[in-house]
Chains A and B, each alone.
Chain A
Amino acid sequence: MVDAISTRLLDSVPDPTDFPPQENAPGLRKLDSTFRCTICGEVFDAPVTTRCGHCFCSGCLRPALALKQECPTCRKSTNEMHIRPNYVMEEAIMCWGESRTYILELIKREKEAAEAVSKAKASQRSHKRKRSGSTSSVEMLDCAPGPSSPRTPRRRQHSPRKHKAVDLTTVPSSDVDEDELSSINLNPKPNQIVPCPLCSKTVAYKDLNTHIDRGCKDFSKEKASETWSKILSKPPNKQKGKQRCYRKHSDSDDEQPLPLASYATLKDRQLREMLGDHGLPTQGDRSLLEQRHQRWVVFYNTNLDRSLPNRKSKSALRQELKKWEETHFKVKKPVVQDAKEHVKTHKSEFSKLVSIARGSQPQITSTIPSSVSPQPMSPG
Chain B
Amino acid sequence: MTSISTRRLAKELKEIQSQGCPVGIELLKADDFATWWFSIQVMGESLYQDEKYTLQFRFDSQYPISSPAVQFVVTDGKEAPIHPHVYSNGHICASILGNEWSPVLSVIAVCVTLQSMLASCKKKERPTDNDRYVRHAPDNPKKTRFHYDDDE
Contact = CB atoms under 8 A, between A and B. Distances in A.
B2 interface: yes
A60 B17 contact: no
Contacts of B103: 38-39, 60, 64, 72
Given A2-B17, A5-B33, A39-B64, A10 B10 contact: yes
Given A40-B8, A73-B102, A75-B102, A15 B30 contact: no
Question: Which of A60, A75, A326 has the most B CB atoms < 10 Å from its CB?
Answer: A60
B152 interface: no
A9 interface: yes
B7 A42 contact: yes
A77 to B, nearest CB: 13
Contacts of B19: 17
A41 interface: yes
B31 A1 contact: yes
A189 to B, nearest CB: 47
Contact of A327 (B3, B17, B99, B102): B3
Interface size class of B (residues with CB under 8 A): 20 to 34
Interface in A120-174: none
A333 interface: no
Interface in B102-124: 102-104
Interface residues of A, number: 26
Contact of A13 (B14, B31, B66): B14
Nearest to B29: A1
Contacts of A17: 14-15, 18-19
B65 interface: yes
Given A9-B2, A40-B4, A63-B65, A15 B14 contact: yes
A63 to B, nearest CB: 5
B61 interface: yes
B74 interface: no
A326 B6 CA distance: 15
A342 interface: no
Contacts of B13: 2, 5, 10
B89 to A, nearest CB: 26
A5 B31 contact: yes
Contacts of A328: 3, 61
Interface in A37-86: 38-42, 60, 63-64, 67-68, 72-73, 75
A323 interface: yes
A4 interface: yes
Given A17-B15, A67-B65, A2 B27 contact: yes
A2 B16 CA distance: 11
Interface in A1-44: 1-2, 4-5, 9-10, 13, 15, 17, 38-42
B23 interface: no
A15 B32 CA distance: 19
B7 A41 contact: yes
Contacts of B10: 5, 9-10, 13
B78 interface: no
Given A327-B1, A328-B61, A10 B30 contact: no
Nearest to A75: B102
A1 B6 CA distance: 18
Nearest to A329: B61
Contacts of A67: 65-66
A67 B66 CA distance: 9
B130 to A, nearest CB: 29
A204 B64 CA distance: 49
Given A60-B65, A64-B65, A326-B1, 8 more contacts: A1-B30, A10-B17, A40-B8, A40-B64, A41-B12, A63-B65, A64-B102, A328-B3
18 contacts: A1-B29, A1-B30, A4-B31, A4-B32, A5-B31, A9-B2, A9-B6, A10-B10, A13-B7, A15-B11, A39-B8, A40-B4, A41-B12, A67-B66, A68-B99, A72-B104, A73-B104, A327-B1
Interface of B: 1-4, 6-8, 10-15, 17-19, 27-33, 61, 64-66, 99, 102-104
Interface of A: 1-2, 4-5, 9-10, 13, 15, 17, 38-42, 60, 63-64, 67-68, 72-73, 75, 323, 326-328
Closest 6 CB pairs of A and B: A38-B104, A41-B11, A4-B31, A39-B103, A13-B10, A17-B18
